[in-house]
Chain A
Amino acid sequence: MSALICLGARACGVFVLAASVIAQDLAVFGKRVHTVSGAVIENGVVLVKGGKIVALGPMTELEPPIGMRTLTADVVTPGLIDAHCVIGLAGYLNQPQDQDQHDPAAPIQPELRALDAYNARERLIEWVREFGVTTIHTGHAPLALISGDTLIAKTRGDTVDEAVLVPRAMVAATLGSDSRAEGKGKSPGTAGKQLALLREALIGADEHRRTLAAAGDDATKRPDRDLRKEALVDVLEGRVPLLVTAHRHQDISSALRLAREFGFKLVLDGAAEAYVVLDELSAAHVPVIAHPPMARFVEDLQNASRTTPKQLFDAKIPFAFQSGYESYVPKTRVVLYEAAIAAAHGLGRDAALRAITLDAARVLGIDARVGSLEVGKDADFALYDGDPFEYTTHCVATVIDGVVVFAGLR
């Protein structure tokens, strides 16, 4: 780490922060600029106009216009993407009034929209932003068979409308212990019942879809509107993927079986025992949002491994990282920290960085906008004073859409 450059970034940051709400033209310098989509640029610069990347290359070849605001750091990466979290719905105080990630009234509630629950001013959004996280896929928690939907947001903006990138990203389903109900008369109490309920719901939505199609333009023949079924029709028609959190190998296989039966787009989440069904996963072409490597190895994760990301990588299964859902302390994880552990457990720095930038963008279907440093993409950056994965490295600035949203030493 270079103390000088670090101080430079801080001083600059203080200056920029004073009027940082509006996107400005920027020149971002880095000793190492990780484009992710292409080679690392040594002593590189990225030029920003109107919130977009307009040029990038080595300093020797690219001269920023005189007077352009500059940011400088040892390492520049694309803004990080947390591929699955509950930030903005599950607040950091962990009190009833700030917990909107799960309504326990019914096991299947796909009609609950993350858009109606996201608190753009939640402190944890600001917290992860200070580590370089610029995009989050967040929503209803993996605590019910179907807990609701998810959205994708930038980690800035005072309202959900300012923050949101994709208002309805996926519908969130969960198999295994976390969506099991306990007690007499409660359901689902077993894995078999979980799948039976999901199949019933999807078949109900399918019937709804058929009736709608048969009615055509004849309003008198249309069935009554049904928000729950309409949400699942979106899944059946491939407009939004079903995000299925499943850790045990048998639950993973059940998710794959369900996807084959109904033909929906499946994104597998968690997947602690993915390493025992790699062939099946690979054949199904299903992307995986891997559990945080530092997640507690208990219950459905008792066979979890920190080498799973490496094994997914070696099997060429597309994957990304998540900070996941936490019920207590810490109230969220930080996706940068999680990727670091995988990097150190065989995955390596480059693949780990890809998994929290471009690969995450691809899994989420937003790679045309974010995930790499390319001309035309959003000007989202994370700046560090050393290897981003090292425990003792600091994030020194975060830029979203050309706006410096953080400058300091985190």
Chain B
Amino acid sequence: MWQPILFCLFAAGFFGFSGYRFLRLYRLAKTQTGKAPARFNRIPERLIQTFINVIGQKAVLQKPGIGILHTLIFWGFLIITIGTMEQFVSTLIPGFNFEFLGQPTYVSLLFIQDLFTSFVLLAVLGALYRRIVLKPKHLGQSSDAFWVLAFTGSLMVSIFLMNASHLLATAPWYELAMPMSRRVAGVMGLLNLGTDAYETMAIIFKWIHMTLVMGFAAYIPTSKHLHIVAAGPNTFLMNLDRAKPMSTINFEDESITQYGAAKNTDLSWKDALDYFSCTECGRCQELCPAWNTEKPLSPKKLILDLKHQLFDKKSGEPIIGKEVTEDVIWACTSCRACEVACPVFIEHTDKIFDIRRNLVMMESKFPAEVQSVFKNMETNGTPWAFAAAERANWAQGLEIKTLAENPQYDVLLWVGCAGSYDERNKKVMKAFVNILNKSSVKFAILGTEETCTGDSARRIGNEYLFQTLAKINVENLNRYNVKRIVTACPHCFNTIKNEYKDFGGNYEVFHHSEFISKLLSEGKLNPTKSQPATVTYHDSCYLGRWNNVYDQPRDSIAKLPGIKMAEMKHNRDQSMCCGAGGGRMWMEETIGRRVNVVRTEEGLETGAQVIASACPFCMTMITDGVKTKEKTDSVKVLDIAELVSDSLTN
């Protein structure tokens, strides 16, 4: 009779304490009152994604090795929990078990549980080996991790000892369904302690197991193991599309007095759920171009610092402080490698953008060199110091019509500031114009009516400036009733395609890599001139990770005669940023190694004679990298438009 009473006391104590701690987390999350993204739509898709990524462990298995270990532990947890439930109920109602489900079912259940108990134990040993011996750099040191593994391992050991004692004491009919426990029983049986002693031991180990389970439940809320509760919901609330427009602030709404996040409480409950989901696996940090070049930003540490700020009830204090410094926030290139790598769908860039918005718009704090960029964008609609009136000068002599001249056209060529003003990128624009002409595409430009899309302003945090520019562009595009747009700049591409919707701009937008790939596959281009060279293609973040355009540029290059392709160590989803995204193009890089040089080194390692890019910012950064490495004689940096244009003969 003592068992049900003691169980009730234990359960009330442990689960009560655990529940109280979870309630506190809920209340803490609710103190974050910023606007959360709308994520309660498209429920069937969300359920499917949750199933694939939680039960199916898809995102976790992006890293196969540790992914498999995690999957074993996770599946083991699900299966063994059935046994734990049985154990709890049987403690309250002696003699209860799942045998009523039918003997075959029960036997299968026991067998699977027995098997997974050993799998989990092996996986825990594997994980310990990884943490103690292999020590991957991105993983870091964590006593919490050892506690979690110790808990998990002890749970499995206690199950085996309990089962083995039980088998020795009662030799039940389902004994054969538990081959692993039988092995343990074989060893324990050597002690020859007698049935009564084994029965007592079974009870002792059961209680050890139950106490560990309950203790674990109480331990979880402040541990990284909290992910077992938070990661599921966070997966359900993930950003379903690859494209992710930044949130639009309504400046007309006079009730908004705080723009961006100054304090933890200015972030949203979804941000809090992100922190709760973090397992500290470090996959974000492993691919972060800032972290990998000795900047103070680690996406993992940022999430943990924000979590600690929330836990330490420092909600009223500014986010920027000793841990989250301004340098941390400005180091981000918004390449999104962290988000794509995250197995629990944490969205790091949202937080960085929100913190930047406060710094820029509320406090006017940003790297000093950015001020002239803002001013250039304000007065001349370009980050570079050039007159708006000179925007179309690059096209002199090319006989390109502007929309004001009311031409017949199929597609608007969005030139962008780089194509208009930057000497190197003007050449790219001319190469693309050559491609369009050779394939008889009717196109036109806005000329001096085009202005900067505002991408850099928005990513730096100057939403107000961005919206000023966005409204001018949308107004012009809609006035001319523009339907289709092609641009050679992934930043313009992403902004017009995904972010102008909020301002009434809905267009069919192509990046020139998509457009060229289409022209090639439709046979409208005839690349015949052989360019014998090995080419490695550098992924632009705003093309790749932000818009999932990986294949088209590669396909186009591969179709050119004479060219061999080589991939860099980091490519596609794992590609490394050139260092210019997120407005970093306009900031000095004073800490650590230079991102563009490190990326260029990866390009040079392939032995390619050409590093191909599809973005004007990447072009600038990689070209600088090649200069720094003193390889300008042997390695060329070319846009895919130039590669294609050069292979056209007539």
Same complex for A and B? Answer no
Chain A residues at the B interface, C-beta cutoff of 8 Å: none
Question: Chain B: residues with CB nearer than 8 A to chain A?
Answer: none
